Structure formats: structure tokens, C-alpha cells
Amino acid sequence: MNAPDVVAELDDLRVWFPTPAGVVRAVDGVSLRVRRGETLGLVGESGSGKSTTGLALLRLVDPTSGRVHVAGQDVTRWSRRRLRGLRRRVAMVFQDPQASLDPRHPVGASIAEPLVVHRLTDGGAARRKRVGELLDMVGLRREVAERHPHELSGGQRQRVGIARALAGEPDLVVLDEPIASLDLSVQAQIMNLLRGLQRDLGLTYLFIAHDLAAVEHMSDRVAVMYLGRIVESGTPAQIWREPAHPYTAALLSAVPVADPRVERQRRRIILSGDIPSPIDPPSGCRFRTRCPQAREDCADVDPVLAEVDPGHDAACLYAGEAVRAMRTETAG
């Protein structure tokens, strides 16, 4: 079933959390494939389920239904113990590097943890050597290994987080908003580092971000999530030039353009209201409550992802058409 170049795959994944207020449908039917060597950008607002999707790919949350495949194996029902061996194959870089490093240990120990757990190095000297190499790779001095997280800057801490993710030579690295909690000036450095590492090591990324601009230059393909579903996916070029889903179009219209002439003519599509509660998603199309182009039948029919162009899918009854209508209206 799996093509050899597919590193990881989600098939109609649902992750529901029971809460006192009701069942939160964080992820509600997501299918995606990550191919070897590519970067798949996963974009969505807070509450869209993008982080839960990433966690489910590592089986750090348990899927309610659907399948998780990693390296050609169906790991959906694997036990915690069995999963441990798999953890080497898929690594994760967390949003907040401060919180993701144990404050009690020098960062060298955090980086070495995958090496120790999977017995990848023989003895302390080899381990220190490997940690040194990893620090080199992420652009930190080797002495940093002795430091504790609170002694490092945010950017340095995230470099440590990346070094830890790379220690096991993973097939796939899930980047969960890796730059979102960093200073603006440091964000670009970390992006460049990630891009350089991908080029040098042939890494595969699932890059989770909350805005399209963050993934534009990084991704081979982009998937846009809204309320637990993927509403549009395609190459960045397809999505930028011809967004087919009104939600994507609205997201794009919020991205400022560096050219002042273009920026002056930029037509912003303002969405009304907040993202609805994932406990009780709207009937039919989930976006219809905020969609400027919602029609009557949007309340009845739940649109599935359908191809609008080769490699470009959208989940909208009026894919393309609605976006063109929006653009004409806002132009007026």
C-alpha cells in the first residue's frame, strides 16, 4: 500500500478528547502523506488540530480512529513499549525549547538521551564525541553541552532541541512551530539552520506553523487545516497563485507583501468571529459560519477534499468559484 518513498502516513485520523464539556474533536478525519526528503507544511490557527496531528504521527496521543503508518508499518495499535524502538525513526522539535528541556540536566545530557536510550554509542567518550558533532551541526560551541537550559538564550535552546531531534538520525522530523516562541531576529537563523540541515542530511520535515508565510519558503507541499480537517493542500505555488478554499484565501490575504505598491492594493478578506468550538463543529461545511461566500447547501453537505488541479485539493463545494467571487467583492 505504501509507496517506498512515503515516510509517514495518516489515514482518516481522528483524535477526540473527552472533556467535562463534551468530546473535543481535535482532529476529525485527516489524511496526509509525508514523502522522503520533502517538507510538508501543516498550517492552521490555534485549535485547528495541527499540533495534535503532529503528536498523533509520533503516537504521543492515541488516535480515536484511523491509521498511523510510519516507515511502512501500521503503528496505530502498537503498545508503548513497542513504540519505543520506533521513536528513533520519528523525532520532534517542540515549540517552546525552554519547556522541552529538563531544567535539571545539562543540555548535553538531553541531546545524548536518544543515544543512550537506543544504545547508539559505545561508552561515555563516544557519546560525548557524538554530542559534540551534533552541537557543531546546529552551530553551537561544544562547551555548551555542560550548560543548563536556563543558562542559554531561546535560540540556543532551540538549537539544542534540534540537536536532540537529530541525534537518532530520524527518517522524519516533526517541527511543531519551532520558531513561534522565538524572537523575530532569531527566527530567521533557526529557519536557515533547518533548511541547511535538510539540504546536508536529506531530512524529511513535517513543518507545523500557524501562518502560511512561515512555511512558504520551506515547504514542498502545504496542507491547510481548519477545525480538525485539512481544507486545502497543494504546492506553495498552487496555493499562493490560485487558492481554491475561501479559508486559505482569507489566510493569504492577511499576509503583508513587502512591495508597497502591491501592499497598497492588497485586498484583505476579514473573517468574522472566532474559530467555532471543536466540541460542536458546524453542520455541513465547518467553515460556513465564517465563510463570506457561504450558500444554503453548505449547511447540509460536508465537502470532502477533491482535486481542483493535479496535486491541488480543496474541501469546498464551490472550490475556486467562491474565492473568485470573494476577490471581486473585496476589490469593489
Residue 118 near other proteins by CB under 8 A:
yes
Residue 246 near other proteins by CB under 8 A:
no
In the complex, the smallest distance separating the C-beta of residue 210 from other proteins, rounded to whole angstroms, is 11
Interacting residues with other proteins between 145 and 164 (CB under 8 A): 146-151, 161, 164
Residue 210 near other proteins by CB under 8 A:
no
Of these, 20, 79, 80, 261, which contacts other proteins (CB under 8 A)?
Answer: 80
* CB burial of residue 192 (10 Å; 0-12, 13-18, 19+): exposed
Residue 108 near other proteins by CB under 8 A:
no
In the complex, the smallest distance separating the C-beta of residue 87 from other proteins, rounded to whole angstroms, is 3
Instruction: With beta carbons less than 8 A apart as the criterion, state whether 134 and 111 touch.
Output: yes
Contacts for 175 with CB less than 8 Å, ≥ 6 apart: 92, 93, 194, 205, 206, 207, 208
In the complex, the smallest distance separating the C-beta of residue 73 from other proteins, rounded to whole angstroms, is 15
Instruction: Count the Cβ atoms, other than its own, within 10 Å of residue 263.
Output: 10
Residue 228 near other proteins by CB under 8 A:
no
Residue 100 near other proteins by CB under 8 A:
yes
Q: Which residues pair with 43 in a beta bridge?
A: 209, 224
* CB burial of residue 325 (10 Å; 0-12, 13-18, 19+): middle
Of these, 74, 113, 171, 302, which contacts other proteins (CB under 8 A)?
Answer: 113
Q: Which is nearer to other proteins, 165 or 212 (CB)?
A: 165
Residue 104 near other proteins by CB under 8 A:
yes
Residue that is written with C-alpha cell 492552521 in the block? 44
